[in-house]
Chain A
Amino acid sequence: MTQTRSLIDENGKRTDGRTGDQLREIKITVGVIKNADGSAFIEFGMNKIVVGVYGPREVHPKHMALPDRCVLRCRYHMTPFSTDTRKNPAPSRREVEISKVMREALEPSLMLEDYPRAAIDVYVEVLQADGGSRCAGITAASVALADAGINMRDIVSACAAGKVDDRIVLDINDTEDKEGDADMPVAYMSHLEQVTLLQLDGVLNEDQFDQCLDEAVKGCKMVYEVQRKALMQKYFGNETELKEEQ
């Protein structure tokens, strides 16, 4: 790997001034698209992603419908202006793959058998891309699905961890993704304690792998708190705490 500069300085700070176990700033707004059944907008560091969920609705073309459960269709798409050089709006190999892994990351959380012969469409539109847009997309999509009122076992949170300058760090950004040694996006259901997505780009030894996964799961739990707060804010206003009474 051609590394031109150090990605972690002598104070342990990374290129964007974060420490090794710090997430980028996350902001989620729920219900931004009026025409969709559920929607969310996420700012995950420099990522800006809007997600619209439609459904359960009738399946078109009809032959795609399944008799025993709902079809989940995901589309991850990057707008032409989301990167510094223009991105061709046609779906690329990468986008098709991310759409697939996103669908597989969200599917275990949904109770698709409750809506047989129907379809749920999830559109993930990346307005501005920084590293980790698939994690941000999954995070926002899960919030949008909850907003759409689809039966779910849990909310999926996603976060990446990776290896930079031989150190395991949380939430890899664009520079670290390109110049670092490894990137591991993880999607996780906090209550069920189950991993729904685990990818790895780079080389890690066994200890590093364990450490990386632990770090990513820790990150997912932090992301979950933001997701929960965003949903609570939309539906219950400032009463974000569980209110219990007789």
Chain B
Amino acid sequence: MQEIRRKYVVPGDRIIEGNFRPLFNVIKAGNSIISTRIGIAEAGREGVKVIPLSGVYIPRVNDIVIGKIMHHSSLSWEVDINSCFSAHLPAQDVFGRDFSPARDDMGRELAIGDLITTRIIAFDRTRDPMVTIQDKDLGKVPSGEFIKISATRVPRLIGKRGSMIQTIEQATHTRVLIGQNGIVVVTGRNSEGIKLAVRAIRMVEEEAHTPNLTQRVKTLLNVSDSAPADTSQSAPSQNAPQNEDLQPTIQEVEEDLEVEKGEKVHDSN
């Protein structure tokens, strides 16, 4: 295991001195690397980065996001993806290459106000992002409870290999669809289950950077510790002290990062 140094930083803090590669949320100033966000700094062999704890969603190519159709022109839909840039879904993506604005009625395929799961196919900040729904599991979201959370909390809500969200889904008998942009849709047959899942998601959002979160979510959901969903974590025992040192936070964030690398969206099916 390579040596990784971590610390808590605010903007302007010097993370490390020396010849390191700046990865993200850091800048190089002279011989030192400086943080540009509040978060947890990590200095490893591959470079230095800061995992931010706050901020709005900035689109990235291949992110899977949930968006809302705002309106359409004759050639594309405009999709609100909870960011400062609104996305465009070309009509050809839905109707195929022989799309004709005169013949095809765009309003019938996707109406204003519809929620869609989409993937960002192009974005470079100079133009608005382009999205697609031509992929497995993408397309219209028929129904569900709509929640907005901060995009920085998404990896925490998913948990390592989906452990957190699986716990919530199994305990409440719901399905939770999470977009990288912080939009979450909860569906299920039982309205009590949906309510409970929403409460658990809100709890994860508010207490994302506190230790022992999985444990408290389980307490909220009345799940016993040996739930099969959480085999990936070395969960602390039920009566573990609440305010132990902050090491679990860092472990958890590390887990989150793995999620960020691998899994872009979680869908239980």
Chain A interface residues (CB < 8 Å from chain B): 37-38, 55-58, 67, 109, 111, 115-119, 146-155, 189-192, 228, 231-232, 235-237, 239, 242-246
- Distance, CA A109 to CA B13, complexed state (A): 13
Residues of A within 8 A of B86 (CB): 58
B6 touches which of A56, A189, A244 (Cβ 8 Å):
A244
* B85 cross-chain contacts in A, Cβ below 8 A: 58, 117-118
Residues of A within 8 Å of B227, CB to CB, are none
In the assembled complex, B27 has its CB within 8 A of some CB on chain A: yes
Do the beta carbons of A191 and B84 come within 8 Å of each other? no
Q: Which residues of the other chain, B, contact A192 by a CB distance below 8 angstroms?
A: 12, 29
A-B contact pairs, 11 of them (CB 8 A): A38-B54, A56-B84, A149-B37, A149-B38, A152-B37, A155-B10, A191-B12, A191-B34, A236-B209, A239-B246, A242-B9
The answer, yes or no, to whether B170 is at the interface (CB within 8 Å) is no
Residues B34 and A235 in contact, CB atoms below 8 Å apart: no
Q: Which residues of A contact B8 (CB under 8 A)?
A: 232, 235-236, 239, 242-243
Q: Say whether B76 faces chain A, with CB atoms less than 8 Å apart.
A: no
* A148 close to B54 (CB less than 8 A): yes
Contact call A147/B12, Cβ cutoff below 8 A: no
| In contact, B34 and A55 (Cβ under 8 angstroms) | no
From B5, B27, B53, B58, A235 is in contact (CB under 8 Å) with: B53
Neighbour of A149 across the interface among B29, B52, B125, CB < 8 A: B52
CA A115 to CA B84, docked complex, whole Å: 9
- Does residue B11 face the partner (Cβ distance < 8 Å to A)? yes
B216, CB-defined interface residue at 8 Å: no
B256 CB → nearest A CB, Å: 15
B60 lies within 8 A of chain A by Cβ: no
How far apart are A14's CB and chain B's nearest CB, in angstroms? 31
A151 to B50, CA, bound (A): 11
Closest to A111 in B: B36
Q: How far is the CA of A58 from the CA of B80 in the complex (A)?
A: 11
* Cα-based distance from A242 to B10 in the complex (angstroms): 10
Contacts A56-B56, A148-B54, A235-B54 known; list 13 others, CB within 8 Å.
A117-B84, A117-B85, A146-B11, A146-B38, A147-B38, A149-B38, A149-B152, A153-B11, A189-B12, A243-B7, A244-B6, A245-B247, A246-B4
B binding-site residues for A, Cβ under 8 Å = 3-14, 25, 27, 29, 34, 36-39, 52-56, 58, 84-86, 125-126, 152, 209-210, 246-247, 250
In the complex, which residues of chain B have a beta carbon less than 8 angstroms from the beta carbon of A242?
7-9
Do A151 and B54 contact each other (CB < 8 Å), given the known contacts A228-B10, A243-B8, A245-B5?
no
What B residues does A149 contact at CB under 8 A?
37-38, 52-56, 152
A67 to B9, CA, bound (A): 31
A151's nearest neighbour on chain B, judged by CB, is B36
**In this complex, which of B8, B14, B34 has the most chain A Cβ atoms within 10 angstroms of its Cβ?**
B8
A-side contacts of B9, CB under 8 Å: 242
Residues of chain B with a CB closer than 8 A to A243's CB: 6-8, 246
Instruction: Find out whether the CB atom of A235 lies under 8 angstroms from the CB atom of B38.
Output: yes
Contact at A151–B37, with CB atoms within 8 Å?
yes
Q: Is the CB of B55 within 8 A of A148?
A: yes
Asked whether, in the complex, the Cβ of B6 is within 8 Å of the Cβ of A245, the reply is yes
* CB atoms of B25 and A151 under 8 A apart: yes
Q: Which chain B residue has the least Cβ–Cβ distance from A54?
A: B56
Return chain A residues, CB-CB under 8 Å to B12: 152-155, 189-192
* Residues of chain A within 8 A of B13, CB atoms compared: 191
List residues of chain A with CB within 8 A of the CB of B29.
192
| Residues of chain B with a CB closer than 8 A to A115's CB | 58, 84, 125
A40 → chain B closest CB, angstroms = 12
The distance from the CB of A116 to the nearest CB of chain B, in whole angstroms, is 5
B12 CB, min distance to chain A CBs, angstroms: 4
Q: Which residues of B contact A57 (CB under 8 A)?
A: 56, 84
**Which chain B residues border A67 with CB–CB below 8 Å?**
126
Which of A117, A155, A243 gathers the greatest number of chain B CB atoms within 10 Å?
A243
Chain B residues whose CB sits within 8 angstroms of the CB of A38 once the complex forms: 54
On chain A, the residues within 8 Å of B11 by CB distance are: 109, 146, 151-155
Contacts of A116 in B (CB 8 A): 125-126
